[in-house]
Chain A
């Protein structure tokens, strides 16, 4: 019964997410586990992900809010900071997490921004390049691709959006 002892904060956050949905994003808790959210994000306009609908899962670990929520793309996406398992390389989901941040902050400001300007993240998260994770060379390759030939990488991202995120 993960739901019986849900902290007040999670209840409040959930209520607010449901009562004040933001444009382009929906997040609803799963019926079996109120710590597990199904998330859909519309690809932001003027980005290679425009027109796509991306499914994500968001999970609030036991330690939340002292530990960051776990967020993962379920829809395949070509993005330098997202590996092939959908894990996101984003500092605020890791060591820059603060308990004063909320699910809302992550979903409403951070993720769309991350999608809007993928190349911004390439340079701000140098660590990804200097210490590539050998388990998932994809994101590393994508990042290299993005740096070497941005136009081509953007085309690939658009192609993937069409192929995997066209909401069919």
Chain B
């Protein structure tokens, strides 16, 4: 049971040393070619919430920097930007080692794209480095990535006879016809990144197949796919942790962290917010280890947890089927029932405010356990306990997605329409989009607190009480905020839109002022609860009891 102080709370993601190393090396190692690109800023809707106020780790080093500059601790790059950077490293290495670029890339890949490491290994034991990628010592003509036949031969793949110049090799003595090479590369590329390890087809030959040969022999489409695998390898297999692909769905941007940056939660331009260290969705206050363990668990328990995500439940009062189509978990059954209940626990909503909020608490965690280890383990491993946490983690995730969609809709014209209704410029309604941004962030933080608490020892009542209390306060506040943003906004729009004209002048303005006041108040309350939540969780020790 490892305990870690706050300092190295995040260090167990594996490779924090690399991270530190990298930063102490200075800028030389970083290809900075395109980092001045101004389109690097995110149109970051998520910047206004929790992390601004309490991003402690960032604050330690960037205290005096304006938030605007802090965004520049990372840059967004397209695949082409990354490729340029990779080509630059490859070209330099090729020159330094006097080998064709394709071989340089193979060596670099072997050294996980660490040019310095390759340099050291190469000059201390060139043969070993060559051997590692299957390349023999350079011949009379130096290193040859591909050669044509100089006499008639039979292709050992299709058994056809070919004239001089109609076949090629991977620099070795095994010549195959163009069509067979094309097919060979096509099959390998279809197999995924394994194509980067491709060797001469002869089973006894280790000659590596490199870029030059692929460029000559492959079909256009396969050449492009091969090139993509090469770029991906640079980011995914590289040891330096300063560039990462955004894991957001459909996003092809890479994020490059600036030297000296301590930020680890990156809001990508595509609006996905992810952890720069482990690549998971941003998961504060859970550590990278906790987040990783949780994701793995969810995957392996996929079937058990599937059913909790159904979109239909029944009103506990009238048994009518209720579908959840809003982000908020505060459900109101339709008339005439009108029962207000909680989507998660199906309890009455009356019990979901302030100090009465117990929805987040797993009941068995409260009950008395003896110190007997087996019973404790049993309780911890119980499927109900897991499902309790999983359902909350997943549902807050869905609500987050819903809020994200709502925010997109607002930014895509919804806010303008709302502004029209009230007869004010859209800028006056920015508090609505700000509230949504906060809801999204709060949902994300909250969902990861469930992963965090899941891994806490259920027997440690004191600590658990503390977490569960913070969680309850934050969750309660956030649900109110979400309810207000979703429900009151729409109700108000109908009210003012339908009847505004018959009311005296100033009616709409008055209603708007009330709404603003209320939403801003809830925003403030939520913000303060989440600040406490994150602080409280992060000041506890990171501890996974497996």
> How far is it, in angstroms, between the C-alpha of A20 and the C-alpha of B195 when the chains are bound?
36
The answer to whether A100 and B202 touch (CB under 8 A), given A66-B183, A66-B187, is yes
**What residue in chain B is nearest A99 (Cβ atoms)?**
B157
Choose the segment among A5-13, A138-146, A150-158 that binds chain B (4+ C-beta atoms closer than 8 Å): A5-13
Instruction: Tell whether, in the assembled complex, residue A99 and residue B180 are in contact, meaning their CB atoms are under 8 Å apart.
Output: yes
In the complex formed, the residue of A with least CB distance to B203 is A98
B184 within 8 Å of A (CB atoms): yes
Select from chain A the residue with minimum beta-carbon distance to B199. Answer: A98
The answer on a CB contact under 8 Å between A101 and B203 is yes
Q: Taking A63-B187, A66-B183, A66-B184 as contacts, is the C-beta distance between A98 and B158 under 8 angstroms?
A: no
Knowing A7-B158, A8-B158 touch, does A66 contact B186 (C-beta < 8 A)? Answer: yes
Of all chain B residues, the one with the shortest Cβ separation from A101 is B203
Per-residue CB proximity of A57-85 to B under 8 Å, as 1/0? 00000010111000000000000000000
Interface residues of A in 96-131 (CB under 8 A from B): 96, 98-101
A-B residue pair count with CB separations less than 8 angstroms = 35
Q: Name the distance in Å between B294's Cβ and chain A's nearest Cβ.
A: 23
Q: Which residue on A lies nearest to B183, using beta carbons?
A: A66
* A95 on the B face (CB < 8 A): yes
Known: A100-B201, A101-B203. A8 touches B184 (CB 8 A): no
State whether B156 touches A100 (Cβ < 8 A): yes
**Count of residues in A whose CB is under 8 Å from the partner chain:** 15
Q: How far apart sit A89 and B545, CA to CA, in the bound complex (Å)?
A: 39
| Contact yes or no, A95 B194, CB < 8 A | yes
Contact status B203-A100, CB under 8 Å:
yes
State the CA gap A65–B160 with chains docked (Å). 14
Whole-angstrom distance between the alpha carbons of A166 and B127 in the complex?
Answer: 53
Known: A66-B184, A99-B184. A8 touches B201 (CB 8 A): no
Do A67 and B158 have beta carbons less than 8 Å apart? no
**B160 neighbours in A (Cβ, 8 Å):** 8
Q: Which 4 A-B pairs have the closest CB atoms?
A: A66-B187, A100-B201, A99-B157, A9-B159
Which residues of B are in contact with A by a Cβ distance under 8 Å? 156-160, 174, 180, 183-184, 186-187, 191, 194, 201-203
Having A98-B202, A100-B156, A100-B201, one finds 13 other A-B pairs with CB under 8 Å, namely: A8-B159, A9-B159, A65-B158, A66-B184, A66-B186, A67-B187, A98-B201, A99-B157, A99-B183, A99-B201, A100-B157, A100-B174, A100-B202
